[in-house]
Amino acid sequence: MVGVVTKMTKSVMRSKKTIYLYLVILAIAIAYTINSVSTVAVAASSITFGLPLAMAAMVGIMCERTGVVNIGIEGTLLTSSFFGFFVAALSQNLIWGLIAAIASGAATGLLLALLTVSWKMDQIIAGTIVNILATGLTSFFYKQGYSLPAIFPRWSIPGLAEIPFLGRVLFQSGPITYFGLIFILVLYFAIYHTPWGLRTRAIGEHPSSADTSGISVLRIKYTNVVIAGAFGGLTGAYLTLELVGSFDRGFSAGKGFTALAIMIFGRWNPIGALLAAVFFGFAQALANQLMIDGLVNIPGPFINMLPYVLTIVVLAFSAGKVRGPAAAGQPYEREKA
């Protein structure tokens, strides 16, 4: 474990990325000396806006690494924030809401796995079904006039929370934020350094070879898609129980699709996707802060469309150059002997 970490650090140090890292730190330092309040606010909002996108992108990564294209992330987010909110509101207990969100997210994953892995349906249409079913269910059962008892409180981590800048940005967050960030790091480690990760990647690249070498292709596909759905459920719980504290029709507002763009931008790599998501969050946070400080006057609709425009621009520049898992999108069928 320690060896792996030092090896990772060394490879980071050697790469061109180090220069970018220094540039980012330098830019933050300059901004911080000019206007510390706004800089901290923008950095903190970058994490707040970026985290749900990063977490949702993990859903996509886990699915695509096993060869399942998941267009249904949007539906997973919508369903889980719906159940998270209403179970928490009806039971007046956030923990029940959290459990309901995760369970309903896993259920959408199970549905997707059933449609794509067992029934070998077209994966794009299957994901669209998840989305449209989620929209129908949540808008029919939606009732006005419910509210949460509270939202998840922020936990200041003793010691770390007092660090200037970083403490306010990272270490005064809610529980799901911490868990989400840790999960992303663990997922990165798991994909590249564990047997599970090797099997998963093998299935995503060449399922028949994986099958020949004795990997249970269908079982791992099912497990990954369902776990990914559960994590998508946690993302929904983050949105409603930790960030916003309410629910409305069409609550997820396209985040599931933006997450797919972030997955591609981050090259199907959890850390890459996290950085991409923080970049998206930063763009939105910066626009908001410029508005608040009265430096620019952009009409609201243009602020709202920023993440969507960014998604298309980013994809236009990165999609042609990167390559996803080779077998993503294809149903796996064993050759008949």
The residues binding another protein (CB under 8 A) are 69, 71, 115, 119, 121-126, 128-129, 132-133, 135-137, 139-140, 142, 253-254, 257-258, 260-261, 264, 299-302, 304-305, 308-309, 311-312, 315-316, 319-324, 328-330
Q: Least distance to another protein from the beta carbon of 107, Å?
A: 14
Q: Is residue 23 exposed (0-12), middle (13-18) or buried (19+ Cβ within 10 Å)?
A: exposed
Choice between 177 and 311, CB closer to another protein:
311
Q: Least distance to another protein from the beta carbon of 124, Å?
A: 5
Integer Cα distance of 271 and 223 in angstroms: 22
In the numeric block, which tokens belong to residue 151?
């939202």
Q: Least distance to another protein from the beta carbon of 81, Å?
A: 17
Q: Least distance to another protein from the beta carbon of 263, Å?
A: 9
Q: Least distance to another protein from the beta carbon of 281, Å?
A: 17
Q: Least distance to another protein from the beta carbon of 68, Å?
A: 11
Choice between 93 and 208, CB closer to another protein:
208
Choice between 14 and 336, CB closer to another protein:
336
Task: Give how far the C-alpha of residue 82 lies from the chain's centroid of Cα atoms, to the nearest Å.
Answer: 18
Q: Least distance to another protein from the beta carbon of 321, Å?
A: 8
Choice between 152 and 247, CB closer to another protein:
247
Choice between 173 and 200, CB closer to another protein:
200
Determine how many CB atoms are found less than 10 A away from the CB of residue 196.
13
Choice between 136 and 149, CB closer to another protein:
136
Choice between 138 and 177, CB closer to another protein:
138
